[in-house]
Structure 1
Amino acid sequence: MDKPTIAPVKTAFAPIIDQQCKILLLGTMPGDRSLSLQQYYGHSGNHFWKLIYALFDQPVDPDYQARKNFLLQRGIGLWDVLESCTCEGSLDSNIKNEVVNDFAAFYEQYPAITEVFFDSRKAEQFYNRYVKKSSDKNYHLLPSPSGANATKTFAQKLEHWKELLPYTK
């Protein structure tokens, strides 16, 4: 008799954030490729970094540290809704046993954040399930940057992601 497979426990990265960030971009949980590289949005098919750099008419820097600095210089923080979960593969639809990050402590530590952007409907759903929305923040839903999100072209995604621009430095 075959043993049932047990999905691995995945743990999210620390946030990319500083005290000047007004924007918080939230995903759900890094995918397998991102976890193996130890980089947010590490899968080459994900459009996240291409979208961020396209917002500012810049070419994507190949250096991960430079990309993190690029976000911070524009007042953009990056984190995930979930601290950990079990998940077979990288699809958000496979997430189980989720544990949410401590947003009360996070927002206390970073009071300048006024704009919260979800980079997928699933990230927004987990947030709504586990975190109380605050009246001192504005919440926005963006189309997923995942290459698997074929419902919108890159250009269409970029049009939606331009919603970030009024809040950047």
Structure 2
Amino acid sequence: MTRKAGFDPVVDANTRLLILGSLPGDASLKVAQYYGHPRNAFWRLIGGVIGRDLPPLTYDERLAALKAAGVGLWDVIASAERPGSLDAAIRRPEAADLCGLVGSLPALRAVAFNGGAAARLGRAVLVDPPAGVSLIDLPSSSPAHARPFAEKAAAWARLGRALG
């Protein structure tokens, strides 16, 4: 089985909120974009948090809008073996250097985990986050996580406090 590797972090010195997924799925890897599956609700959910309609924008414009709002992206897994895209199929994960990244972000206020696998693995690494940095668990934006959009959006709306 081949290993699948994630993307580089999307952050800068002004990142106040870091959103961590588990590992990009096949659709995202194919287009080389975070949350590249057309039914993944990520861009709608985070757009609601920052007050921008992100889905119509190009990928580069979406990333620029996130950075301008103080939002960063990365994954808790640097690489893993996984047939398909389900988190339950992840085998032999190699952790990303979360502590190193979190420690390098001077404005960071919160780390949010997009889904249960990201929360479980990320919290195991970030057991002692820097002072003033809160950890937030979110329902997954994945279409595999069947929950009404409005319910997901209400949970994701909490991220506004980390940015405000």
Q: Deviations over 1:46-102 (max 9, x none)?
A: 000011123344322330000001111111111000111110000000001101111
Aligned to 1:101: 96
2:105 to 110, 114, 119: 110
Structure showing greater radius of gyration is 1
1:12 positional shift? 0.7
Q: Counterpart of 2:35 in structure 1: which amino acid? A: Y
The aligned runs of 1:2-41 (5 Å cut-off) are 6=1, 8-41=2-35
Q: Counterpart of 1:125 in structure 2: which amino acid? A: R
Distance in 2 separating the partners of 1:36 and 1:109: 29
Aligned to 2:152: 157
Say yes or no: does 1:147 pair with 2:151.
no
Could you list the runs of 5+ residues in structure 2 that have no partner in the other structure? none
SS of 2:80's equivalent? strand
Q: Counterpart of 1:18 in structure 2: which amino acid? A: D
Aligned length: 162
Aligned to 1:52: 46
Q: Give me the identity figure in percent.
A: 33
SS of 1:125's equivalent? helix
Distance in 2 separating the partners of 1:99 and 1:30: 14
SS of 2:157's equivalent? helix
SS of 1:97's equivalent? strand
1:74 to 61, 69, 75: 69
Distance in 1 separating the partners of 2:130 and 2:67: 24
1:87 to 82, 86, 92: 82
TM-score, L = length of structure 2: 0.92
More moved, 106-115 vs 13-22: 106-115
Say yes or no: does 1:61 pair with 2:56.
yes
Could you list the runs of 5+ residues in structure 1 that have no partner in the other structure? 1-5
Assess if the C-alpha contact under 8 Å between 2:17 and 2:111 holds in 1: yes
Aligned to 1:3: none
Q: Deviations over 1:120-162 (max 9, x none)?
A: 1110111233443325221111110011111x21111101100
